[in-house]
A = this chain, B = another copy of it.
């Protein structure tokens, strides 16, 4: 099933005019996953026309303010607008102690529960799983424990070939077992192999979010071949020294990771406030990895 990615914010630590800081919503399998939640994210749901109704899981890459300062306001507003899904916040273990006093004061009467799901950002593990997808942490290299997130769809069931099922008069009650790989035996004893009754499942989709990070090839085995990679590109190459100092990446480095990992497409974002226009960042990334898109607040990508 398609992934629909909504970019809510493309700014870095210091906000720039027209750019909110890090927040994205990934929609798939009738669920919405919020990735990072900077100050003002609740406004970006409105501004970018993204619904929060199906939101249940929030993934926080690291505890810098431009990735988590918007959580309380978002939860408070969800509480006032009829949200009922419980909310699970996946983050570094420190977050709960930071938010608890405010949650107890401002969000004590919500119609949903809030659960903290702490994990270690410095190891790669499956930190969330449901029947459709898994989310795996991607350890990154930054000034505090930070990870990205790999959203990988589970391989679906084969598709039933309706015309063949009708042809062999397969009873409806057998559809589930055929979807699971069973052959069919006709009333006169002939065996119809499963491969005649089904087509292979749609390819499982995958999305990797990598922000914030210094250039590191250690992530390549984890993100290899994903359908879409979002990689931070805080700086352009002339500011490589700043990227190294602040443990961020240049656009060229993001593109190099995309190329070496053989991903299908790259989206860059998390731009330093110094760039009024992101044209130079896009240009240097596309020179290395042509299938690059420069994110902007409100960008929607389906893959």
B106 touching A65, Cβ below 8 Å: yes
A77 touching B46, Cβ below 8 Å: no
For A16, what are the chain B residues with a Cβ–Cβ distance below 8 Å? Answer: 46
A80 touching B43, Cβ below 8 Å: no
Q: Mark A96-120, 1 if CB is under 8 A from B, else 0.
A: 0110011001100000000000000
Per the 8 Å Cβ criterion, residues 40-62 of A in contact with B are 40, 42-43, 46-47
Partner of A46, one of B17, B43, B47: B17
Q: Is A69 an interface residue (CB 8 A)?
A: yes
Q: How far is the CA of A47 from the CA of B40 in the complex (A)?
A: 13
A72 touching B69, Cβ below 8 Å: yes
Q: How far is the CA of A13 from the CA of B38 in the complex (A)?
A: 19
Q: Assuming A14-B80, A15-B43, is B101 touching A98 (CB within 8 A)?
A: yes
Binding site for B on A (CB under 8 A): 13-17, 20, 38-40, 42-43, 46-47, 63-65, 69-70, 72-73, 76-77, 80-81, 94, 97-98, 101-102, 105-106
CB-defined A-B contacts under 8 Å, sample of 25: A13-B77, A13-B80, A14-B77, A14-B81, A15-B46, A15-B77, A16-B46, A17-B47, A20-B43, A38-B73, A39-B40, A39-B42, A39-B70, A39-B73, A40-B73, A63-B105, A65-B76, A65-B106, A69-B72, A69-B73, A94-B105, A97-B101, A98-B105, A101-B101, A102-B102
